[in-house]
Each structure stands twice: as structure tokens, then as C-alpha cells.
Amino acid sequence: MVSGAELAGASCLPSQGSLVRSLSVPCAMVVLWALTLDAASPPNIVLIFADDLGYGDLGSYGHPSSTTPYLDQLAAGGLRFTDFYVPVSLCTPSRAALLTGRLPVRMGLYPGVLEPGSRGGLPLEEVTLPEVLAAQGYLTGMAGKWHLGVGPEGAFLPPHQGFHRFLGIPYSHDQGPCQNLTCFPPATPCDGICDQGRVPIPLLANLSVLAQPPWLPGLEAHYVAFARDLMVDAQRQGRPFFLYYASHHTHYPQFSGQSFAGRSGRGPFGDSLMELDAAVGALMATLGDLGLLGQTLVIFTADNGPETMRMSHGGCSGLLRCGKGTTFDGGVREPAVAFWPGHIAPGMTHELASSLDLLPTLAALAGAPLPNVTLDGVDLSSLLLGTGKSPRQTLFFYSAHPDEIRGVFAVRRGKYKAHFFTQGSAHSDTTADPACHAASPLTAHEPPLLFDLSQDPGENYNLLGGAAQVTTEALQAVKQLELLKAQFDAAMTFSPSQMARGEDPALEICCRPGCSPWPSCCHCPESQP
């Protein structure tokens, strides 16, 4: 077990102050449009994935008080999506969809999320995005939150799923006791107590425990240093790189380094978001320093909507309805930006897109063959490069607890979205809308709730409701959506649930195997600076 100082030295970890100073390096986003790239050269890829970030949380998406200048600059210089979705509004299934281009039910990643001692995980026979890119010569690395399983001897961890390098926590940072952890320096404890009866959260380097628990205020700086090293090493080796930067921000309990604590004007959530934004700025500054901005595609999005049960600590879905855990748009529609100077023109698109589409899109841009499996994603490269429209016309949304009898809960086709079933979630408690809350039971709708999202993005006005004058167009739309659902459900086969394999506490990662008393003895904390 290395000390915190040795860890910092080994990773050239900057202090929080030097991290902030590095962000002042101009990214020169607007002066690089003239850069060209040999069409035969595959792009470097930086995929930034935020955690529990709402559609309305960024300044570029309308939040009046968020401090997100680097993300806003990225949005101004890239293609900003207004209608970008994830298929399920929970961490584990959303991340599985992102990395495979497949709906989570095909992989058995349901219901809910994986736990630290889960026997299941992302099946090793699944072909992941880093595996696709590694086969094309990419150096692949992941920093941050995994949440796709640990398994015996770490069988499901990133080094076994296509990543050459991994630095991160294998699940959510609230899936272990946090009442004695510092979230904001110098000594502000984390809000709440998180999960009890678990081992402290471990920070892993590949399959080795670096700290258990890590010092949370320094965690993002570790990840930025890891990302910088990956970029430098790939450039030195003359090969492209794929960086999956899966930040813990803005998941509860929020944390940040000294330079951001109390600085955002939006409380702990805003401080956490401010540090995420600064990390994005640092990544862009590194690309600029290395002369790689014109050769690198940067994509930013998030795994699901805000956890509104945390109130001001839980994020904002903007004008959208509900949040995490639901199939309303506040749970599944996410901010998303694609940035690639000289290749992607700045602007905004209302075309439909999904996190499922990233694997086929990035494979096409990298010149990689697609996996020989059923993919639910489509290639968006023509949309990104301005040569065509999105081929995606339809989106299917599953509940956080899906089953084959009910099938998909909601379907969107063009501007229309139909809800065949709705159910509230504890994650979306405390909002003014009771339909979002856990107390709102599973409800079948016949006819389905129908919304025109071009006019009613908040899903407030059911076009088939009693007070509405039902138009011929609405009737035709619902008939089409009913048919799409029936056909899709009939063709879908659920894989056996990985979560149903249960849990084994012995699978929880411990820096002191066999120690006692379990699990509190698994304690090898990182030294604080």
C-alpha cells in the first residue's frame, strides 16, 4: 500500500492549486477550425461521462447560476444536442449501454444496479467499445467510476473489458460508509452516512488497491493526472488513444478539492460541478499543449438524470419532468456535446441520438469493424461531420426494473413520445410532481400517455387526455407507437439477470485480505496533503 505522497509522486499528481493554474492555459478552441487531419488517421477519443447530471445543470443548457465555463465553451465550439438520450435512468444499465451499444436487458444488467459484492457483472463475452478500439491499435484507458461489476478475482473490472489502464473506484462512491470521510477540505464531512456494512470504497490502479478509502478532495486531480499521462504516452508511442473519463461528479455525496469548496455559489452540488468543469478544462488544455486538439474527438454526456430526492444536493432536470429512476425525459434525456475542431461544425442539433449510438459511431470514425452481435445503436458519424441526418428515428425506454411481460415502458418516434407504463422512483422524490415520487405506483396506460415533445418537452399535456381535442395526427402517432412497441417487445429476448446471481461479501475488495473485524478492517487510507 503506497502512501498518499508516493501516489502523488508516482502519478505526477498536481496540487489543487496547480490544477487550477493549468486551467488558465487558453484552450484556443475558436482559433483551430482551420486545422485539418489526414483522413486515414483515426481520431483520438475522449469520452467524458458525468454522474447524475441533469439536463438543466449546465450553463449552456440554461442553468442561471452554474459555474461551468469550460463545458460551456466546449458546447459553443462543438455540436450541442438537444435530444440526446440514455435507455435506462440508472448507473449500471446506462454505463453498460454506453460501452456496448446494446440495451442492458440483452446483457442481463437488470434490475437496479450492481453492488460491491455482486456475483454478476458485465458479461465478458460482451464486446466493449475499448475492445473495438484496442483492436485498431488504440491505447485505452479509463479514469473514474466503473459500476459494471467486480466479480471473483476482479473478473469484471476494466482491465478484463478492453482497458489497458484503469484508475478508479469500481462502483458508486456512496456504496460504502462515508460518515467519517472528508468531502470538502479542510474537514467538512460527507453529507449522510451512505451504505453501511460494506468495505470502505477502494481506489484501484488496474487490479491493485491504491487506497481504501481515497481522500475524496484529491480524487479528481488523480484522474486528470492519469488522463494526461495516457495522452502523453500514446503520443510518444505514435498511436491513437481512447480515454473514458467517468467522473463521480455530481453524484451524492458531492465532494471537491480546496480550490472549489464554497466557490460556486450553488452549494456542494455546484462546487462538485465546478470541479468537473475544471477537469474538462484541464483535459482540453493538455490536448492543446500536446498539439492534439485537431486530432481528438471529445464527447461529453451523462449517465442519467438528477437525483432530485437530494433536493439542492441532487441536480436539476430543467424544464423536463422528473429525474433519475423514471422514464420521463428528466430521467433519460441528457446534455451532450461533440467537439472536434475542423471536423464538427459548431452548432446545435435537434436530431434524435442515444448513448447506444456511440459505439457504432466511434467504430466508424476509427475504421473499426462492428462486433458480430445485435446492436441497438446506429452510426451518427454523418450527423457529426455534417454530411447527413441522424439515422435514428425511434427510442425505446425500459424501467429500472424491467420484465418481459410489460416490455418497454415508453417509446419516442420523431417528436412524439408515448408512455405505456409509468412508475415513480425514490430517486425522484421531493419534486412538486407526485408522478415522479416513489409513492406513484406502477400504472398501465390504455391508451398510452402521448406527448408532443417539440411543443411540450415537460410532458405536461397528454394529447389523448379528456380535456384535449384529439387530432387525427395524434391518433396516427399513437397507433404507430403502439405497433413499434409490440414489434420491439416481441423481438426482444432478455438475458438472465446478472443481479439475480446475488451477492457474496467475500467478493468485496479489501486492501487487507482475511483481516478482522470485517469489513471495517479493510482500511488503508490515503494520506491527506
Burial class of residue 136 in the structure, from the number of CB atoms within 10 Å of its CB (0-12 exposed, 13-18 middle, 19+ buried): middle
Rounded distance, CA 378 to CA 356, Å?
7
Q: What cell does 139 get?
A: 491505447
| Other beta carbons less than 10 A from residue 301's beta carbon | 24
Q: State the catalytic residue, choosing from 12, 27, 63, 147.
A: 147
Task: Kindly provide the b/e burial profile for residues 156-187, where b requires at least 16 CB atoms within 10 angstroms of the residue's own CB.
Answer: bbbebbbbbbbbbbbbbbbbbbbeebbbbbee
> 52 with 303: CB under 8 angstroms?
yes
Query: Three-class SS of residue 334?
Result: strand
The H-or-E segment that residue 365 falls in is helix 358-366
The whole-angstrom separation of Cα 208 and Cα 283 is 25
User: What is the rounded CA–CA span in Å between residue 384 and residue 490?
Assistant: 33
Q: How far apart are CA 397 and CA 374, in angstroms?
A: 17
HSE toward the beta carbon, residue 153, CA cutoff 13 A: 1
Distance CA 324, CA 308 (A): 7
* The C-alpha cell that represents 317 in the structure block: 432536470
Single out the catalytic residue among 91, 190, 194, 524. Answer: 91
Q: Which of 15, 53, 51 is nearest to 320 (CA)?
A: 53
445 is catalytic: no
How far apart CA 416 and CA 371 sit, in angstroms, is 31
**Phi, then psi, of 429 in degrees rounded to 5:** -65, 170
Q: What are the start-end ranges of the E strands in 108-213? A: 139-145, 165-169, 182-184, 188-189, 203-205, 208-211
How long is the chain?
529
E strands within 221-322? 241-246, 296-302
Cβ-based neighbour number of residue 337 at 10 Å: 26
Reply yes or no on whether 522 is catalytic: no
Query: What are 407-412's contacts with CB under 8 Å, separation 24+?
Result: 407/485, 407/488, 407/489, 407/492, 408/485, 408/488, 408/489, 409/327, 410/327, 411/481, 411/484, 411/485, 411/488, 412/85, 412/352, 412/453
CA distance 271 to 224: 17
CB atoms closer than 10 angstroms to residue 406: 16
Q: Are strands 79-85 and 353-354 parallel, antiparallel or unpaired?
A: parallel
Query: What are the CA-CA distances from residue 121 to residues 146, 175, 329 (Å)?
Result: 11, 16, 27
3-state secondary structure (DSSP) of residue 47: strand
Catalytic amino acids?
91, 147
